[in-house]
């Protein structure tokens, strides 16, 4: 296996190992978010980013999407993601992070996938 594939596999393994450590009793939610992100944008390469799962279009590319757990599970986008201002927005704020207070439902999963696809552009 080429070195690049080895590094990608190592990065994926590190993310998959980190999810249960970071998310604890919410590890099923963390794993599901990882799965949704990867299904929505298969070109993303997971890696640890500041100790949390991050997703970029390549190993040397900036992270676009991340997940973490503090008091709540957080799903977010970095400033490097495709974050256009909504045309009809009444202000100049662009949403880039969301807390999850409960288990994922179908509507939330669909919205996460939609956000990831938009972030990747």
- Express each pLDDT in 51-103 by its tens digit: 999 999 998 999 999 999 999 999 999 999 999 888 888 999 999 999 998 88
Report long-range pairs for 33-38 (Cβ below 8 Å, ≥24 apart): 33/67, 33/73, 33/75, 33/104, 33/112, 34/67, 36/104, 36/109, 36/112, 36/113, 36/116, 37/65, 37/67, 37/112, 37/116
Distances in whole angstroms, Cα of residue 10 to Cα of each of 4, 51, 89, 119: 10, 15, 41, 24
3-120: which CATH number, 3.30.450, 3.90.1150, 2.40.50, 1.10.3470? 3.90.1150
pTM of the predicted protein model = 0.92
Average pLDDT over residues 13-23: 97
Give pLDDT, residue 59. 86
Question: Given a cut of 60, is residue 1 above it in pLDDT?
Answer: no
Domain spans in the chain, listed from the N-terminal domain onward:
3-120
- Cβ within 8 Å of residue 10, ≥6 positions away: none
What does the pLDDT read at residue 51?
Answer: 96
pLDDT category at 2 given cuts 50, 70, 90 is low
* Residue-level pLDDT at 101: 87
Alpha-carbon distance of 106 to 63, in angstroms, equals: 26
Give me the mean pLDDT over the 12-36 stretch.
Answer: 97
Determine the pLDDT at residue 103: 87
Token readout for 63 is: 């992270």
């Amino acid at each position: 296996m080429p070195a690049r594939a080895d590094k990608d596999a190592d990065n994926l393994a590190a993310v998959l190992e980190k999810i249960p450590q970071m998310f604890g009793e919410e590890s099923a939610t963390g794993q599901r978010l990882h799965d949704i992100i990867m299904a929505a944008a298969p070109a993303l390469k997971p890696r640890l980013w500041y100790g949390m799962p991050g997703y970029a279009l390549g190993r040397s590319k900036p992270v676009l999407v991340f997940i973490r757990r503090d008091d709540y599970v957080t799903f977010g986008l970095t400033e490097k993601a495709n974050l256009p201002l909504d045309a009809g927005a009444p202000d100049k704020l662009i949403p880039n992070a969301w807390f999850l207070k409960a288990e994922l439902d179908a509507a939330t999963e669909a919205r996460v996938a939609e956000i990831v696809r938009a972030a990747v552009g």
